[in-house]
Amino acid sequence: MFPEVGKATVRVLERLGQTVGFPAEQTCCGQMHVNTGYQKQALPLVERFADVFAAYDAIVAPSGSCVGSVRHQHAVIAKRFGSPGLVEQVEAVAAKTYELSEFLVDVLGVTDVGAYFPHRVTYHPTCHSLRMLRVGDKPIQLLRAVEALELVELPDADQCCGFGGTFAIKNSDTSMAMLADKMRSVLDTGAEMCTAGDSSCLMHIGGGLSRIRAGAKTVHLAQILAATRDDPMVLGRAERQAEVHAGPEAVL
Amino acid sequence: MLGLPTMPPPAPRGVGNLRGEEKFPDAARRALADTQLRRNLGKATTTIRAKRAQVVAELPDWEELREAGRQLKVHTMAHLPDYLAQLESAVSARGGVVHWARDAAEANRIVVDLVRGKGVDEVVKVKSMATQEIGLNEALEAVGVAALETDLAELIVQLGHDKPSHILVPAIHRNRAEIREIFLREMADVDPTLTDEPAALAGAARQHLRRKFLSAKVAISGANFGIAETGTLGVVESEGNGRMCLTLPDTLITIMGIEKLVPRWQDLEVFLQLLPRSSTGERMNPYTSMWTGVTPGDGPQEFHLILLDNGRTAVLADADGRDALNCIRCSACLNVCPVYQRTGGHAYGSVYPGPIGAILSPQLTGIEDNASLPYASSLCGACYDVCPVKINIPEILVHLRAKHTETYAAEHRVPSAEASAMSAAAWVMSSPNRWTYALRGGRLGRMLGRKRGVIGEVPLPLAKQWTDARDFARPPKQTFRDWWAAEHGGER
């Protein structure tokens, strides 16, 4: 859905000297299935994840909720439907699976990734990053180190944006009411962009901002960290102008 | 009870207030449009939330207290039959009478018989969730007994012919102007010049209630705690009206859910710190009343304790859901819940609203009767963070969603549309080739949204629910996989 986020993640990691692989056999972590109540259907996805990534030193995902699912839900599914061997396997893989900011700050010990992003930005700590993974201020540390970036605090930042996976569809009215408040908070900051570590929440917030022609948009943390003086993120390029406020992938 | 081959029964249908009339999304839609409700709730929850955060931050050992509370509850639930028997003997030894009620209907019948035996047509009530749960007021009314709520907020709800919308602050959906209007309309003896000043409103209620306290022969209460070791029951409250009920009438009838037990007197040290800080954001609640059986010459001379199951044993039977019984009814989860804060309690149908209600109600009634509640959450996790006994509400919500879909699948030969879609998605995601093609196929979506560069409203099922309020990015020309293959092709 959002190839720019994946590309940006690869760019940042490679710039920091990491050897990045993308095993084409990977598909999805299965969070949507588990959270909607289809645990058994998630089993093949859990097995696939554990198999495909077993050989790597670290697994990095630019998504707090996907990492949350791997860390907290895969073992539940394995215990319920899989073999004891699978439980061990998923626990081993989960232990080396990191959300991007965790990997950069905790594993690589880096906060300044050499990024350049001359914009006014506010940060939304997505619920799963905040309360499931407890990433704390790691994304903030990374953002503070970005050259030329003006970071403004988001009021009521810890409030859910209202995405919640299939919640956004099943309870769309409540989801929209939550979104309305989140958009107001974002706009109150006067930021050009709201960033976060989850494309799904950004798709929701960005989609709402675009709908009301708010003049603010969303961008993934990885995209900010990937931008440099030599290879900046160019906004408002004529042929891209319209796409810019659509969501994280549209910011080029 | 344990060891029986059949599953324990859920709370029966047709009695009590555990089931709503419509599904959560439909009830929520109406509530969301009520601007007065939104304003009242937003203001009240934000205020209580801030108060709670402040007093919790004062305690350096808050996390240890939470853990102690959790462990005490887990231990109690694991030994519930023993502790219940211990409580029964302790209460009986101190002159109380213990009754066992399998469900709401049985509990109501026991109370009705006791009240009728006293020949009264009016009883006073202490605020109690258990009696709301079983619909006791309705049962008493059916036999011509008026049950007078004496908690100020419950009184507002009762006079307004309304339903409670919050566990602790049942009239949270009302503001003071609305309360004034209800009092003027419903209190026969009210001063017609009553203003909407909180003190004036409280004064009117006090005057209205005081006469009732003095004349009532029978009081009915719930209990926050029942101590197995001593047979002591406890109620914590803010107003003192509860204590009036607990001490003035001759007969006291207490209805307590079987999960409200704690093993020892000493355990209250933990819970009396956790509860007020979590609920009203106070260091200590103004009134804590404790009573043990009957004390000759002091307080009620007849005491009945009704131990209520009403689906609780069924909850206890589910190892992945039973922690819902650990709840001490503080309401902290309601006050921080972004869903509750916007929809209010009535949308949940049950007397137990909010995150705890979403895991408790469907378990008490059986999942099929409250199937929409486990989905009434974005799984943001704020509830788990504030729960004083560390109930992992998001995890239980996810568990109940699975229970729902699996129960449905077991009872229907044709899978639901959603189940089919999920199976199809799993099938696609089980093969990297199919997944790659599916992602590439997304490019078809580029036919949409060319004018503005984003996809606006799409009037198709599911797409509509998303695009009603949110634009959708046009799918990319090149997928990440294709980019990777082009840039890093062959590299693994």
- Name the A residues in 98-117 with CB < 8 Å from any B CB: none
Sign of the CA dihedral with B391 first, then B335, A168, and A102 last: negative
pLDDT score of A244: 34
Nearest to residue A52, comparing CAs of A68, A73, A70, A32? A70
Question: Do the chains contact at A246 and B453, CB–CB below 8 Å?
Answer: yes
Nearest CA in chain A to B408: A37
User: Chain B within 8 Å of A1 (Cβ-Cβ)?
Assistant: yes
Torsion of CA A234, A238, A241, A243, to 10 degrees: -90
Burial profile B309-343: b = 16 or more Cβ within 10 angstroms, e = fewer: bbbbbbbbebeebbbbbbbbbbbbbbbbbbbbbbb
Q: Where among B278, B313, B348 does a domain terminate?
A: B313
My answer on whether B448 and B300 are in the same domain is no
For residues A22 and A6, give the distance between their C-alpha atoms in angstroms, rounded to a whole number: 10
B375 part of a folded domain: no
For residues B281 and B279, give the distance between their C-alpha atoms in angstroms, rounded to a whole number: 6
For residues B492 and B485, give the distance between their C-alpha atoms in angstroms, rounded to a whole number: 10
For residues B71 and B73, give the distance between their C-alpha atoms in angstroms, rounded to a whole number: 5
B11 part of a folded domain: no
| CATH number of the structural domain spanning residue B282 | 3.40.50.10420
The whole-number average pLDDT for the span A77-101 is: 96
Question: What's the whole-model pTM score?
Answer: 0.94
For residues B167 and B352, give the distance between their C-alpha atoms in angstroms, rounded to a whole number: 7
The token duo for B187 is: 């209190």
Nearest to residue A124, comparing CAs of A151, A150, A145? A151
Q: What is the largest CA-CA distance in chain A?
A: 56
Question: Do the chains contact at A174 and B342, CB–CB below 8 Å?
Answer: yes
For residues B22 and B343, give the distance between their C-alpha atoms in angstroms, rounded to a whole number: 14
User: Chain B within 8 Å of A24 (Cβ-Cβ)?
Assistant: yes
B77 part of a folded domain: yes
Q: Which residues contact A197 (CB under 8 A, 6 or more apart)?
A: A62, A63, A64, A99, A100, A101, A126, A129, A135, A139, A220, A221
Nearest to residue B278, comparing CAs of B323, B324, B334, B223? B334
**A106 CA to chain B: closest CA distance, Å?**
24
Q: Which residues contact A203 (CB under 8 A, 6 or more apart)?
A: A1, A2, A163, A218, A247, A248, B470, B472, B473
Nearest to A176 among B398, B469, B479 (CB): B469
User: Chain B within 8 Å of A201 (Cβ-Cβ)?
Assistant: no
**B22 CA to chain A: closest CA distance, Å?**
14
Helices (H), ranges, B6-61: 24-32, 35-57
Identify the burial level of A239 via C-beta atoms within 10 angstroms of its C-beta, where 0-12 means exposed, 13-18 middle and 19 or more buried. Answer: exposed
User: Chain A within 8 Å of B481 (Cβ-Cβ)?
Assistant: yes
Residue % of chain A over a pLDDT of 70 = 92
User: Chain A within 8 Å of B447 (Cβ-Cβ)?
Assistant: no
- Phi, psi values for residue B164, rounded to 5°: -60, 145
Nearest to A246 among B378, B382, B454 (CB): B454
Calculate the CA B418 to chain-centre distance.
28
* Low-confidence stretches of chain B (pLDDT beneath 70): 1-5, 490-492
Measured between alpha carbons, how far apart are the two ends of chain A, in Å?
Answer: 15
CB of B369 closer than 8 Å to CB of B349:
no
In chain B, residues with a C-beta closer than 8 Å to the C-beta of A33 are: 422, 425-426
B28 part of a folded domain: yes
H helix or E strand, kind and range, residue A97:
strand A97-99
**A223 CA to chain B: closest CA distance, Å?**
14
User: Chain A within 8 Å of B420 (Cβ-Cβ)?
Assistant: no
- When divided into structural domains, chain B yields a total of 2
User: Chain B within 8 Å of A219 (Cβ-Cβ)?
Assistant: no
- 3-class secondary structure, B218: strand
Identify the burial level of B247 via C-beta atoms within 10 angstroms of its C-beta, where 0-12 means exposed, 13-18 middle and 19 or more buried. Answer: middle
Helices (H), ranges, B248-301: 268-279
Give the up-direction half-sphere exposure of residue B475: CA atoms within 13 A in the CB hemisphere. 15
My answer on whether B442 and B295 are in the same domain is no
Nearest to residue B236, comparing CAs of B163, B342, B323, B328? B328
Strands of A193-196's sheet in order across: A150-152, A120-123, A193-196, A217-220
Looking at residue B295, the DSSP 8-state letter turns out to be B
For residues A198 and A64, give the distance between their C-alpha atoms in angstroms, rounded to a whole number: 6
- 3-class secondary structure, A91: helix
Domain range enclosing B478 = 436-488
Q: Where among B268, B291, B313 does a domain terminate?
A: B313
Identify the burial level of B489 via C-beta atoms within 10 angstroms of its C-beta, where 0-12 means exposed, 13-18 middle and 19 or more buried. Answer: exposed
My answer on whether B305 and B441 are in the same domain is no
Question: Do the chains contact at B25 and A173, CB–CB below 8 Å?
Answer: yes
Which residues lie across from B98 on neighbouring strands? B305
* pLDDT tens readout for residues B438-454: 988 888 888 888 888 88
Question: Do the chains contact at B454 and A73, CB–CB below 8 Å?
Answer: no
For residues A182 and A185, give the distance between their C-alpha atoms in angstroms, rounded to a whole number: 5
Nearest to residue B252, comparing CAs of B209, B223, B230? B223
What are the Cα distances from residue B287, in Å, to B100, B167, B240, B243, B248?
28, 18, 6, 8, 16
Q: Where among B267, B282, B313 does a domain terminate?
A: B313
The position carrying tokens 């929850």 is B45
CB of B24 closer than 8 Å to CB of B404:
no
Q: Which residues contact B4 (CB under 8 A, 6 or more apart)?
A: none
CB of A158 closer than 8 Å to CB of A237:
no
pLDDT score of A249: 40
My answer on whether B308 and B450 are in the same domain is no
B467 part of a folded domain: yes
B131 part of a folded domain: yes
What are the Cα distances from residue B319, in Å, to B315, B352, B399?
8, 21, 11
User: Chain A within 8 Å of B380 (Cβ-Cβ)?
Assistant: yes
pLDDT score of B285: 95
What are the Cα distances from residue A113, in Å, to A19, A57, A164?
16, 21, 30
B35 part of a folded domain: yes
DSSP calls for B353-404: -HHHHHHHHHHHH-GGGGTTGGGS-----HHHHH-TT---HHHHHHHHHHHH
Domains and CATH numbers, chain A: 3-105 (no CATH), 111-250 (3.40.50)
CB of B303 closer than 8 Å to CB of B291:
yes
CB of B389 closer than 8 Å to CB of B69:
yes
- Phi, psi values for residue B382, rounded to 5°: -65, -35
- Name the B residues in 279-338 with CB < 8 Å from any A CB: 338
ipTM of the complex: 0.93
Question: Do the chains contact at B398 and A35, CB–CB below 8 Å?
Answer: yes
